[in-house]
Structure 1
């Protein structure tokens, strides 16, 4: 059984026939490793080639024993992009409309805000110039632009502003067999010439209580009950709890969620 706190988790093996967009990559760092990477433990270490993905906590510092404490940053896991990523997605904040047909994807509204920061020993500061790609399935579990599907609905990208923010208006994603409800994202810092200097890819997940409330409504309800809760998802079990969104709202008026991350790449 995998230990999610191990710096070298065992690879994920999916059942035959499950293509799944994903399997775990990278590592989950222990607290001791995170302290070393941030220069707060015994002997600072260089950042890994893959960078460090972290969350900025509202309290400024995280609880812990000893003199060295994380400056409000918790290391996050990376996950593969899967087969449904399309590079060069349109730069836009509203992902609901297919730019080719003008058709809006039906579903419960979701506003998703990324806030990117640079992590240092003293804390986290806003990081501008990070290209944020987002892509996910529609209310019935289908991705646009791949596997014979046309269009570019529920796909898009933005560059973070001076406050490190990039906001997307989309819909709550549906589900498809073998996977928990999720949204894919990719972060790529850009240099002055607009070229990516690195990338970090992972996924966001949702509380089961919110999934149930959303899927009881049309058009989600026509697909039936989701077959894979978070606890049974092979990807979620390898660190998904660190990527679980805290959403506010309801299935009538829609939801909002902010994902606050620190990125030391590029």
Structure 2
């Protein structure tokens, strides 16, 4: 995707609402994974899959209905990169602070776990060496490093370990006009020299009940206790975002943990 090098001057005027790729049925997923006579294609923006049996809070588990025989993963939608991605984000696990000033973003703690697997006939195996970029707004809806904002708070990247895992320590994102609460992520497969051989970009969403609990807390309540765009009215969420809901546990006082298991057939 080609991004506008001059993004809109206000967060209200974001262009996060473009869907990239296609949300596929299980039968189509069988074909793409080579189990129904088809071959994997990246023309639609790549393929993202989530382990069967995983559930988003308030969502349903994968692996129900449709064609049988899909090997442990179900294809998920790609979503827009949006205008606020910054290349070469700092390689770090804790993304709460600004690396130059040391100032830490205030908010409810969130531990975000990615588990990346390789999609193959017969199941998914851990995928080591995948670069994961994560970026999102702060409690008041502000992104670092864009639109005149300085710093690199709430931005970071890591490479998955031998178990296909990468953990980010951050805060629960706030909201800004026109979008549901979300976190952006990008997965890039790397060759031996560290060059990207494929990429997949999407967004993670949060259950409305958890949003309500968080936004009643400081500093979120300065912005308002209710996001102006719930999931059901978000343009991206309506295009498959319910399949990108985080499995999330915890409470505002102690913080939350969210997990996203992804099967990637790129590179």
The normalised TM-score by structure 2 is: 0.89
Which of 39, 42, 63 is the equivalent residue of 1:45?
39
Unaligned runs of 5+ in 1: 1-16
> Structure 1: how far apart are the matches of 2:198 and 2:241?
22
> Structure 2: how far apart are the matches of 1:39 and 1:82?
31
The answer to whether the 8 Å contact 2:114/2:167 transfers is yes
Unaligned runs of 5+ in 2: 1-11, 55-61
The answer to whether the 8 Å contact 1:28/1:75 transfers is yes
Which of 26, 30, 34 is the equivalent residue of 2:25?
30
Q: How many residues align?
A: 248
The answer to whether the 8 Å contact 1:62/1:69 transfers is no
> Structure 1: how far apart are the matches of 2:17 and 2:145?
18
> Structure 1: how far apart are the matches of 2:40 and 2:33?
9
2:4 equivalent in structure 1:
none
Moved runs in structure 1, 4+ residues, more than 3 A? 46-50, 63-66
Q: What is the deviation of 1:29?
A: 1.1
Q: What is the deviation of 1:246?
A: 1.5
The answer to whether the 8 Å contact 1:108/1:251 transfers is yes
> Structure 2: how far apart are the matches of 1:121 and 1:44?
13
SS in 2 for 1:237: helix
The normalised TM-score by structure 1 is: 0.89
1:172 equivalent in structure 2:
172
The answer to whether the 8 Å contact 1:62/1:71 transfers is no
1:95 equivalent in structure 2:
95
2:258 equivalent in structure 1:
257
Taking the TM superposition and a 5 Å limit, the aligned residue runs for 1:184-203 are: 184-203=184-203
1:104 equivalent in structure 2:
104
Q: What is the deviation of 1:44?
A: 3.1
The one-character-per-residue Cα deviations of 1:156-184 (angstroms, maximum 9, x if unpaired) are 00000000001000000000000000000
SS in 2 for 1:132: strand
1:183 equivalent in structure 2:
183
> Structure 2: how far apart are the matches of 1:48 and 1:90?
28
Find out whether 1:246 has 2:247 as its counterpart. Answer: yes
SS in 1 for 2:262: strand
1:93/1:177 Cα in 2 relative to 1: closer, same or farther (>3 Å)? same
Q: What is the deviation of 1:38?
A: 1.9
The answer to whether the 8 Å contact 2:72/2:122 transfers is no
2:218 equivalent in structure 1:
218
SS in 2 for 1:185: strand
Q: What is the deviation of 1:121?
A: 1.4
The answer to whether the 8 Å contact 1:145/1:151 transfers is yes
> Structure 2: how far apart are the matches of 1:62 and 1:161?
27
The one-character-per-residue Cα deviations of 1:113-135 (angstroms, maximum 9, x if unpaired) are 11000001110000001000000
Report which stretch shifted further, 47-56 or 120-129.
47-56
Pairwise CA RMSD: 1.7
Taking the TM superposition and a 5 Å limit, the aligned residue runs for 1:68-87 are: 68-87=68-87
Q: What is the deviation of 1:58?
A: 4.2
The one-character-per-residue Cα deviations of 1:219-255 (angstroms, maximum 9, x if unpaired) are 0001112100000011110110010112100000000
